[in-house]
Amino acid sequence: MAGIPVANTFPRLLQANAEHSGNLPAYREKEFGIWQTWTWSEVNEAVRFLALGLRSLGLERGDRFAIIGDNRPPLYWSFTAGQSIGAIPVPCYQDSVADEIAYVCEHAGVRVAVVEDQEQVDKLIEVRDRLPELRAIVYTDPRGLERYDEVEGLVGVETVVEAGRGLHGRDPEDYEREVARGRPTDIAAILYTSGTTGRPKGVLLTHTNLIEPARRAVKFDDLTRRDEVLAYLPMAWVGDFVFSIAQCQIAGFCVNCPESPETVLTDLREIGPTYFFAPPRIFENMLTSLMVRMENAALVKRRLFAFFLGVAQRVGCDILDGKRVHPLQRLLYAVGNLLIYAPLRDVLGLGRIRVAYTAGEAIGPDVFRFFRSLGINLKQLYGQTEASVYVTIQADTEARADTVGSRFPGVEVRIQDQEVQFRGDGVFQGYYRDEAATAKTMTEDGFVRTGDAGYFDEAGHLRIVDRSKDVGALTDGTLFAPKFIENKLKFHAWIREAVAFGHERDMVCCMINIDLEAVGDWAERRGIAYSGYADLARQEEVYELVRGAIGDVNADLAKDPALRGSQIRRFLILHKELDADDGELTRTRKVRRTVIGQNYGELVEALYSGRDSCRVAAEVTFEDGRRGTIEADVKIWDVDAAAPMAAAA
Amino acid sequence: MKREIGGGRPIAELENIHLSFGGLQALQDVSVAVKPRERLAIIGPNGAGKSSLFNIISGIYTPSSGTIRHKGEVRPSRMRPYEVARLGIARTFQNIALFSGMTALDNIMTGRNSLMRRGVLGEALQLPWARRQEIEHRRRAEEIIDFLEIPSVRRTPVGELPYGMQKRVELGRALAAEPELLLLDEPMAGMNLEEKEDMCRFILDVNEIHGTTLILVEHDMGVVMDISDRVAVFDYGRKIADSAPDDVRRDQAVIDAYLGTAHEH
């Protein structure tokens, strides 16, 4: 593509941008209420001085240095500055506590830390005795640091830049020589995975690893220097590196940094990005707050909104997918676009979106369809730090809620023992100083084990069903993916939590926690009296409601040849809400299937013994910390399996 | 960092002030002075005359008798509040007194009022000097927004803000006048612990970084003892003590009148 510089290290990419489009905006940041802009040539100059300045602090080729803070232009520049002199950036999560930062910095043996502000400086000072190799702490925001003059090695970024400027004045070729020494096969960054289990691992990625897949993604979505992104996700996350550094430099688009983490939504509206990434929960929150605001709107507006939302739900996705739609519906949608969808997109800050992605977790199909039906090109991708993000991706016409797309260009993906494995030029070089973990993750033929179980459907789209270790099988050998089924159940408004059983059993059964707010509201509107959760949960009408929801999930499962056999055949509604205080949920509200299986052993047996009710006594922790028991009769209902043909109709 | 409290003449000085409303003696023979860069706290039970004292300094009330000096010079006995504001004195109110329909930014901009040069025509025609002035005032307001960490509510009408935030905006408006002397009337009232900690930090920073002199009325004794250099205690319109926090804490008259722990041993 014309204008896209072909360079194979990050410092060279930056130089090429400064040459080709020196006067175009590269970074923006809102400061004192105004968006300040830096052009590519300004950034190039800043990076050059910062690089030489960092070297004068004792940062040498091959050394590691930490970067900690919110998304700020000078922190982004420090990545490339360090890379120019052959040092390796190690970004840390800015909201980590001191101990976590100490672990990463100690493990990586960082010599210098470039940090945002007093908050991060304080953390480093707190753990400094664990970091004997740390020579200097460079801060970008001096606020509150006036009283820190006695801290050894603490220096403001301006001072470092000035030192670099002096060095450049004495030897103008110095920087170019440093950049020329860089090889595409050098390590460009060590990205520590946040690690839900155990200590974080440092993923080694080269310039080639990060640049080549990012270059293909730029081509895939036709990103150009006219695109705009808002950089608001953690800088330590591989996605931000790829979107806000790699693709920014490859496509030459401008990266906008929010004023503060609290102002992201306002900044989103002001910038109106064309290329956007957000995890599912952000889209879910947007939808919820929108619905709450509409509830409080005037009746006319509410009616209008409901009507056109109906139109969008019927035809919006098809129009976006380029499918044939009846001309009358198309006209109605155009009117809706004028009156509702366009203003709505604008309010959400998504008015100019060309390409938006979500990844990381399963997104609710309703949420996904809602955004697409409004004309927002939201798609999914599946990736990992170990892949420099990209494993699979959805093209514009194949965006679906329940898959994560097809193979990303240049990546091989295979399913081995139900596990997704991939190979390509984005594949990492190993975990830093952890050969055992590297050996466990890499296969002998160069594939990476993702630890995720999945399969390709008929259309060649990857479906992720669960973590491999959680996937089991029914006695007849049918694949049983509990989290996949539970997620499908939880996407229903009535169901708050679900626990599926089936491994080494002859069928799938599940326990349900109803959503007290949603079902309670539903019951009130129908004049069903209830005294509390336990009472509501045992009502016949509620069982009927939940059976309907499970029927939908079964119909969904029936469409899928691999999962058809794992439809839910029996269920019960638990007499109490699962609670983290009782050890049934983790603090992040993930169900602990084994704990629940033990606590409610009688119920599990009753599910599989064909009985239609079971008397239980459960130990509970009350709000005030006292412990007590609840006794109840729990009903067990059967559900019909959906036939594959009926589901297809 | 050691903070220098300015020696020499006080920035504000009240001498033998009397104030009465009809037959009610609100202040009786009160003398109090505050030095440059000092942090003076005024405490006392309700109705002790604390707010009256603030109202006298800021020109809302005129004392029945007594002298007020500003940097050693005797102030005219009657001064309008805006004239007092031009002397470099700003205040916040016990009950928040913001324009609730206006945004946080606009409220803070109103604090620049005493520093704006007049000229309706120039403003209306957007003449260059008027625009320069507007930009300069806006820049100062934005610095305050940054300092108080409230950019996320810049465009929010203050009526929609939680109480603690409104208190912050009110402080922002007072700071916008770039005062030498800042009067804070119960800045911590109704706040939770975290909000109080934030507010203390802002108040200390204003004093230490910008050198602003502070007089604050506050009921939270922890805050008073922690952040003030000197405490003046009022009771029934009289000053009954005026010394360092530790001495005040041990003063029997103060304990009897206010701290209410006279019989603990």
Question: Rounded to a whole number, what is the largest CA-CA distance in chain B?
Answer: 72
Q: Which of B143, B152, B209 sits opposite A263 (nearest CB)?
A: B152
Distance CA A352, CA A371 (A): 13
How far, in whole angstroms, is CA B98 from its chain's centroid? 15
Q: Which of A32, A146, A147 sits opposite B146 (nearest CB)?
A: A32
Indicate yes or no: CB of B152 within 8 angstroms of CB of A266: yes
Contacts of A300 (CB under 8 A, 6+ apart): none
Q: Which of the listed CATH numbers 1.10.3720.10, 3.30.1330.60, 3.40.50.12780, 3.30.460.10 matches domain A10-277?
A: 3.40.50.12780
- Angle at which helix A73-84 crosses helix A40-56, to 10 degrees, equals 60
Bridging pattern class, strands A462-467 and A448-456: antiparallel
Chain A residues close to B146, C-beta within 8 Å: 31-32
Chain segment A142-188, per-residue pLDDT in tens:
988 888 888 999 999 999 999 999 999 999 999 999 999 999 999 99
**B-contacting residues of A 89-128, CB under 8 Å?**
none
Chain B residues close to A34, C-beta within 8 Å: 142
Fold of A471-648: GMP Synthetase; Chain A, domain 3 (3.30.300)
- AA identity, residue A195: G
Distance CA A570, CA A512 (A): 11
Chain B residues close to A32, C-beta within 8 Å: 139, 142-143, 145-146
| Helix locations, A442-515, DSSP H | 482-490
- For residues B152-167, b (16+ Cβ closer than 10 Å) or e, as one string? bbbebbbeebeebbbb
Categorize the per-residue pLDDT at B46 as very low, low, confident or very high, splitting at 50, 70 and 90.
confident
User: How confident is the model over B37-54, as a mean pLDDT?
Assistant: 90
With CA atoms as reference, the chain B residue closest to A148 would be B1
Distance CA A300, CA A289 (A): 19
Indicate yes or no: CB of A262 within 8 angstroms of CB of B151: yes
Distance CA A577, CA A630 (A): 12
Burial class (CB in 10 A: 0-12, 13-18, 19+), B239: buried
Within chain A, all domains assigned CATH 3.30.300.30 are found at 471-648
| Helix locations, A228-364, DSSP H | 238-241, 248-251, 264-271, 280-295, 299-311, 317-321, 327-336, 342-348
Distance CA B198, CA B176 (A): 19
Chain A residues close to B198, C-beta within 8 Å: none
For the record, the structure tokens of A218 come out as: 């730029």
With CA atoms as reference, the chain B residue closest to A33 would be B142
In this prediction, residue A356 carries a pLDDT of 97
pTM: 0.83
Alpha carbon of A604: minimum distance to chain B alpha carbons (Å): 47
Indicate yes or no: CB of B142 within 8 angstroms of CB of A260: no
Q: What are the beta bridge partners of residue B231?
A: B41, B243
Chain segment A199-241, per-residue pLDDT in tens:
889 999 999 999 999 999 999 999 999 999 999 999 999 999 9
Q: What are the beta bridge partners of residue A35?
A: A30
**A-contacting residues of B 105-164, CB under 8 Å?**
105, 138-139, 142-143, 145-146, 149, 151-152, 154-155
Indicate yes or no: CB of A34 within 8 angstroms of CB of B142: yes
Lowest-pLDDT range, A268-272, A419-423, B217-221?
B217-221
* Residue to substitute from B109, B135, B146, interface A, most A β-carbons within 10 A: B146
CA distances to A43, A586, B20, B67 from A89, rounded to whole Å, are 18, 33, 70, 66
- Mean pLDDT, all residues of chain A: 91
* Residue to substitute from A266, A267, A296, interface B, most B β-carbons within 10 A: A266
pLDDT surpasses 70 at B119: no
Bridging pattern class, strands A568-573 and A508-514: parallel
Distance CA A2, CA A554 (A): 51
**DSSP letters for A261-277:** GGGHHHHHHHH--SEEE
Chain segment B125-153, per-residue pLDDT in tens:
777 778 888 888 999 999 999 999 999 99
Q: Which of A146, A147, A263 sits opposite B151 (nearest CB)?
A: A263
Q: Which of A33, A147, A262 sits opposite B1 (nearest CB)?
A: A147
Contact B233, B251 (CB under 8 A): yes
CA-nearest of A311, A191, A317 to A245 is A191
In this prediction, residue A71 carries a pLDDT of 96
Segment (H or E) for B225: helix B221-227
Q: Which of B139, B149, B209 sits opposite A32 (nearest CB)?
A: B139
Distance CA A299, CA A305 (A): 10
Chain segment B230-256, per-residue pLDDT in tens:
999 998 889 999 999 989 888 888 877
pLDDT surpasses 70 at B206: yes
Categorize the per-residue pLDDT at B265 as very low, low, confident or very high, splitting at 50, 70 and 90.
very low
Within chain A, all domains assigned CATH 3.40.50.12780 are found at 10-277
Distance CA A349, CA A360 (A): 22
pLDDT surpasses 60 at B264: no
Q: Which of A33, A146, A147 sits opposite B154 (nearest CB)?
A: A33
In this prediction, residue A649 carries a pLDDT of 38
Chain A residues close to B1, C-beta within 8 Å: 146-147
Indicate yes or no: CB of B155 within 8 angstroms of CB of A263: no
How many CB contacts within 8 angstroms connect chain A with chain B? Answer: 28
With an 8 Å Cβ cutoff, is A259 touching chain B? yes
Indicate yes or no: CB of B209 within 8 angstroms of CB of A262: no
